[in-house]
Amino acid sequence: MNAKRNASVHSLGSDLTKVDAHRIQPEEYSELPELTDDMLARGKVKKGGRPRLANPRQLISIRLPADVIARWKATGPGWQTRMAERLSDI
């Protein structure tokens, strides 16, 4: 199977609609294993996302004339990055 493709309902061989619709009933709780201290000790918390930057960007609000913004947007995708680079050159 191609790793870049998502698994389809047919390739999984299960009825995901039925699985999603199932709600655990009170009598099913007895089938669940008890959590032990060993199980909890093996647990790991994974923090997702990117590593923090040493010098992160800061969000500001600035009002610019519409024609200035239009000219920057006309330069194509990445105009905000180019604007920030140009401002940092000053």
Look up residue 35 and give its amino acid.
L
pTM of the model: 0.42
User: For residue range 10-61, what is the model confidence (pLDDT) as tens digits?
Assistant: 666 778 888 888 888 888 888 888 889 999 999 888 888 888 899 898 999 9
DSSP state of 13: T
| Domain spans, the chain | 9-41
